[in-house]
Amino acid sequence: MKLLGVDTGGTFTDFVYYDGRRLRLHKTLSTPHAPEQAILQGLTDLQLNLEDLDIVHGSTVVTNAVLERKGVRTVYITNQGFADLLTIGRQARRRLYALQPQADEPPVAAELCLETGGRLGADGSVLQPLEPHQLDTLRRQVEQLAPAAVAINLLFSYLDDRFERQIEEVMPDSVFVSRSSQVLAEMGEYERGIVTWLNAWIGPLAQQYLQRLEQQVAPARLTVMQSHGGTMAASQAGRHAVGMLLSGPAGGLKGAQYIAGLSGRTRLLTLDMGGTSTDVALIDGDISLTTEGGIDRYPVAVPMVDMHTIGAGGGSIARVDAGGLLQVGPESAGAAPGPACYGRGGEQPTVTDANLVLGRIPADRFLGGRMSLDPAAAEAAVGRLAAQLGVSRLECAEGIVRVANEHMSGALRKISVERGIDPRGFTLVSFGGAGGLHVCALAQSLEIGKILIPRYAGVLSALGMLVAPRSRQLSRTLNTRLETADTDTIEAVYAALIRSGTAELLAEGIAREELQIQRLADLRYLGQSYCLTLPWQQPAALADSFHQAHQQRYGHDLDEPVELATLRVSLFARPRPLVLDEPGGHGIQPPSSLPPSASGGLVHYLRDRLKPGERLTAPALVIESVATTYLAEGWEGFCDADGNLLLHRKSTAGCAD
């Protein structure tokens, strides 16, 4: 078994290669204009034989296309009278008290929105048929508009998709078609429409990229990480482009869950800090999925890992705003030109430059010595900003780090404290190339006493892709009162969803006996808009479970009827087993000296030489080929049997588990 996990980030592309016995790690600078170039460069650097190699890829192609609004020309087809549906949305205002809000650009231009018949009622009855002449008209209109993609979203299509299928059949063969009954068979015509349009808008880009990459890495087999934490064959992933929006971050959560689980830790707050952004999430046993996620200003109602993302990374640019205050991010220097210290033409100070000035990044050992940093360029960039603020260079660098920390601390509070969850009972798991430099300060701000730095923290998203299972997440809305629900209908819907998902996974070469199936249901009180998702049981028991879950989440339950909104099925194959090689144990590298003004007398440890059971004394840097960890004053480090770093505040340093 030869596996390669590839995580394409905004600044670096990470590689984790597993040959069945041990892991090899690698990083290379990303090539945003053509992401496959960095991947091919990594394959060359690693000198891998592509025969019998399985590549699992997490891509930012579709995410960047949405954020940069570089989708393809797309026609939107809906029922008569609903052409403005995506423009009107939910009439929610992003700035509630702005008296003169700036109008957003509509997702689809008015001339690209087409109307037709084929309208259903809420009970699935036909209110308006779809006539043959209407299909002919649609085809002519699409041919005249010459789009690259078409999004079809008819009302209540999740009850009966025959009209959407008829429209799909008459579309030109050259056009990428996305229909709502296939992308998201759920209620909510706006949310369903946005997801269907997003899938069409970025689908051709994803499909072309994956086809190009698949050809270039042949004969290796290529699969793609999905936002829900599972993988899908590249040949199918292009048709489900909207499922790739959190491709890389989902890999990080799988990696954190896997590594922490080896030592029995299941309650985790995760911090994934890369060069461009920081992702935070909460894992309490299982990775939580949400259908209330979003990207940019668009809701994304397909299942994805429940996380919060902010524009704070190592490449986040520091500046002085119009009021004279220091600001950090969300603008990033990215991979090109990158931070000033990269020596690639960047002149603006970044978080990475600030950490280098503070002596928290070893200039001569960055990426294991494969990339040299330019301290003089970092000092010059931070110095210019310091002059604007009227402070010393070191004070400015400390300020940059503190502002970035406050952004990340706020994100961690949002997914814990703001949801009524006390973070002090969780272990903070830090990964990503830059996370270890900030994790002690973040844990301190949330009064968290335990930190886990996984052994492969700098490339954990790529590692997580190796343990992620092939899977599918399928759903269909029912909207019926639970107490009067027809169990035969429910079983029939579940059976249809399971057949569909099973067929797709079998087509990818997964054996039927490897498949595991979980049946779930979205429930709410009659009249509510928001649902809780619970494992399926018989209706009476399910109602009791819902009341208990509502009490736990919101602090109360109601004596009201319960509505069964949506049925869900999760199908997944057993994950691949990894046998990780033993950690090194060749003693500690003697302290290396940095200029006192920069380093503060930091001891340097080489992580791959730490012995299991060894204790680390702060303040110190723990250096590895793919990341650096700053062990701040007031903390103590410990290397466990698997080579992971456990950090404890000294007040709780008695336990080394």
- Residue 334 is predicted with a pLDDT of 74
Mean pLDDT of 587-604: 49
For residue 615, tell me if it sits in a domain. no
pLDDT > 90 in the chain, percent: 66
Q: Which of 156, 178, 205 is the last residue of a domain?
A: 205
**Burial of 97: CB neighbours in 10 Å, binned 0-12, 13-18, 19+:** exposed
Quick one: pLDDT band at residue 62, thresholds 50, 70, 90? confident
What mean pLDDT is reported for the chain?
Answer: 89
pTM of structure: 0.86
- Overall domain count for the chain: 2
Given a contact cutoff of 8 angstroms between Cβ atoms, the answer to whether 253 and 271 are in contact is: no
Instruction: Give residue-wise pLDDT tens across range 161-175.
Output: 999 999 999 999 999
- Residue 310 is predicted with a pLDDT of 83
- Residue 292 is predicted with a pLDDT of 87
Quick one: pLDDT band at residue 651, thresholds 50, 70, 90? low
Higher pLDDT, 231 or 64: 231
Asked whether residue 600 carries a pLDDT value surpassing 70, the answer given is no
- Residue 582 is predicted with a pLDDT of 66
Asked whether residue 127 carries a pLDDT value surpassing 80, the answer given is yes
CA distances from 506 to 214, 466, 493, 532 (A): 20, 20, 20, 31
For residue 160, tell me if it sits in a domain. yes
What CATH number has the domain bearing residue 125? 3.40.50
Asked whether residue 12 carries a pLDDT value surpassing 90, the answer given is no
For residue 197, tell me if it sits in a domain. yes
The closest of 193, 6, 186, 166 to 83, measured between CA atoms, is 193
Given a contact cutoff of 8 angstroms between Cβ atoms, the answer to whether 193 and 85 are in contact is: yes
* 3, β-bridge pairs: 18, 54
- Residue 367 is predicted with a pLDDT of 63
Sort residue 25 into left (φ over 0), alpha (ψ -120 to 50) or beta.
beta
- Residue 598 is predicted with a pLDDT of 39
d(CA 198, CA 208): 16
For residue 165, tell me if it sits in a domain. yes
For residue 300, tell me if it sits in a domain. no
Q: Which of 171, 205, 239 is the last residue of a domain?
A: 205
Instruction: Give residue-wise pLDDT tens across range 453-483.
Output: 998 888 899 999 999 999 999 999 999 999 9
DSSP string, 279-344: EEEEEESEEPEESSEEETTEEE-S-EE-EEEES-STTEEEEE-TTS-EEEEEEE-TTTT--GGG-S
For residue 331, tell me if it sits in a domain. no
Given a contact cutoff of 8 angstroms between Cβ atoms, the answer to whether 296 and 288 are in contact is: no
Contacts of 162 (CB under 8 A, 6+ apart): none
Quick one: pLDDT band at residue 293, thresholds 50, 70, 90? confident
Instruction: Give residue-wise pLDDT tens across range 232-260.
Output: 999 999 899 999 998 888 999 999 999 99
Quick one: pLDDT band at residue 584, thresholds 50, 70, 90? low
Asked whether residue 268 carries a pLDDT value surpassing 90, the answer given is yes
Q: Which of 531, 552, 573 is the last residue of a domain?
A: 573
The region of weakest confidence among 261-270, 443-452, 594-603, 608-617 is 594-603
Instruction: Give residue-wise pLDDT tens across range 350-407.
Output: 999 999 999 888 877 666 556 778 899 999 999 999 999 999 999 999 999 999 999 9
For residue 645, tell me if it sits in a domain. no
For residue 533, tell me if it sits in a domain. yes
Note down the domain range covering 163.
Answer: 69-93+102-205
Instruction: Give residue-wise pLDDT tens across range 623-642.
Output: 887 788 999 999 999 999 88
Given a contact cutoff of 8 angstroms between Cβ atoms, the answer to whether 505 and 571 are in contact is: yes
- Residue 495 is predicted with a pLDDT of 97
d(CA 285, CA 42): 34
* 120, β-bridge pairs: 126
Asked whether residue 413 carries a pLDDT value surpassing 80, the answer given is yes
| Residue 495 φ then ψ, to 5° | -60, -40
d(CA 331, CA 651): 38
Asked whether residue 591 carries a pLDDT value surpassing 70, the answer given is no
